[in-house]
Chains A and B, each alone.
Chain A
Amino acid sequence: MSEKWTFMMDSLWVVVAAVLVIGMQAGFALLEAGSTRMKNSGHVAGKQIVSFAIVSIAFWAFGFGLTFGDGNRFFGTSGWFLAESSKKTFASLDWANVPLSLKFLFQMAFAGVSLAIAWGGFAERAKLSVYFIFGTLFTVIIYPVIGHWVWGGGWLGSMGMQDFAGSTVVHLQGAIAALVATVLLGPRIGKFNKDRTPNLIPGHNQVYTVLGGLLLWVGWFGFNAGSTMSVGDGFFGYIALTTNLAAASGAIAAILTAKLLTGKADIPAMVNGVLAALVAITAACAFVEPWAAVVIGAVAGAFTFWTSVFFEKKGMDDPIFAFSVHGIAGMIGTISTGLFASPRLVEKAGVGKAGLFYGGGFHQLYVQTIGVLGAAIYVAAISFIILFLLKKTIGLRVTAEQEISGLDISEHGSYGYPEHLDPSLTKKADSF
């Protein structure tokens, strides 16, 4: 195939993949809105657009340069506003044979997903202003740093860390920010009784939750398979295969685990199992054999159901289970290549070494563990500083009255479901 055709086909594939990943915003909007209460549904869904808009601007201005721009081992120091001052500016992405605008679009979509995950920990009680401030700072000083460490020529990439599409870079980061927010915000009103026993605060629409999960599943083909950013050798097809196998085993493992541990085959648990499996296979999709993808997906799907129950018992109110689904599964996925990475695939991907089960020894396991710890510590520390300062200055949380009224009415002035929540609002129009 000629170079021109390769360029065209790769570019077309990357734009399709980017659109699939951007489409995941719709998945998050449905998943989160369905998993929260009716009185907050407009807010929870609508903030997804706010979030993606913030990422689009901030990542274009500074985030992309900090992630992929030429710099030191810790962050990029060039490439602001996509300006290429020299051929070296975005050398870390030279392996992809597509225009810079597409490289940006694709990577910006990733940053958007990471921020979307973080919001899970803020759900149903954070002020809208916090979304603006934390969203901008996350996109500029949190996400790009880890992105640079692993993908932008930083110290973890140099060590050979295997994180093909971002179990750590995208998912663990978002999840750690969500965890810090969950802790600093505290539980939603009514989540726990005086004796610390938890109450169920069910989402208002399981169909939305399921549709959100399915949209994310589909979007993940752009996320993982699209991360090849090329079509020439057909490797994207293999990655789509491992991705799908993991998601499927995660769904089955999660619903069976829920049935086994609680007696009920919980639907939201199954959706979370799919997502946890997808999160886990994100790092490993290019490095593991299909059977290992099934194992990784099943372990992530089953284990994160248990952790979501465990954290709730321990008094943590993570409304969307963001930390379990993206954090715990992100760790499982990242560390899994240290066990399952097969030599033939490692050679093809050209990153790191084979895993423990393939005679690669403990080296890759060590690198992966260091990667997880390094990223988790950095994100936790910076997120804590930002959110703590916000808490002490403008405050993180809406007032109790606003929280009880719902964020739709208190922050935005209208309900997502007005006929249900305040029929008097629509009474006049309905009388015609």
Chain B
Amino acid sequence: MYRDDFVRRMQSPGGDRRTGRSMHLDIPLLLILAALCLSGLFVLYSASGQSLYLVKRQAVFMLFGFIAMITVAQFPVRFWERWAILFYLIGLFSLVAVIFFGVGAKGAQRWLDLGVTRFQPSELMKVVVPMTISAFLGKRYIPPSLQHIFVSLVLILLPVLLIVNQPDLGTAILVFASGFFVLFLAGLRKRYLVSAFLLAMAAIPSLWVFVMRDYQKQRVLTLLSPEDDKLGAGWNIIQSTTAIGSGGLTGKGWMQGTQSQLNFLPESHTDFIIAVLAEEFGLIGVLYLCALYFIFVGRCMLIALNSQSQFGRLIAGSLSLTFFIYIFVNMSMVSGILPVVGVPLPLISYGGTSIVALFLGFGILMAISTEPKRIRMEL
């Protein structure tokens, strides 16, 4: 009896969360998630030009996401640690398959057609790569040795290069970042960090010359001076900043945003959806969303901090950081402080695979959060 009570108290530091815990669900995370999803659907309805069809599809994706999240959360953390390498291999295989069987749009081949639906293996790698690196480093000494760093980098770069090749620079950078965050959180020595930084700086020119496509270069140039090409590449940035700025403090009202409703805003229901929100709900809407995101990321980081295993810490930490980077990159590019890269706004932008991939990550976070407390003393 005493022991049961003790365990229960240790398992529920913040009070009685028996229900959530028994279903392996983190209630605060779930609530914020629900709030984000509903807000997302609300904005999407307006951003898609009142397309109930798209909203329904998005809702179905979210439902799938919730199911996937809950399913993933039921597996013990150790399961994911053990099988990470298998998912990694499957992911890598899918990326190779995309080269041969992939379908695409706008000159990029990113999707695999599964008959029922199309899915984007690169999105999955955003979860699988940090999971694999976490599993690998979780069992090793920290800070990671040079040898382990090297192995980790190889594991990261294999899928990243495949994704760059699609080409999908935005996703590739995010996948790379999600893997690199694991290395960083694992305690990568400062000298390696500094040399990595210097290496990255040195690599930018060659990246510019050899890796980046013309349209990608154009996006960077456009960022620097959007007015040079008002109707071409600069159009997106000019129209999105106009949408945001014209929203003011309180916005023009739901479905009243002229920039988005009259199609001045490109990609208004996908990558640029934040501009619709900013135009129609003003700074108040933006701050509301930022607050939700901030609480969400904070909760994720808390889960990481409280994790029982090194694997759990690393993967949870990396996933929260990646999630933040999503938000940061998207909001920055739409408001014109970063070049336009194809990064959707998590949970708000329309897009199936991205949502499902996100929810898979949240599932792992929930598994970690509801992991039974190991009592060191017992060992």
Q: Do A and B bind each other?
A: no
B residues at A contact (CB < 8 Å)? none
Which residues does A use to contact B, with CB under 8 Å? Answer: none
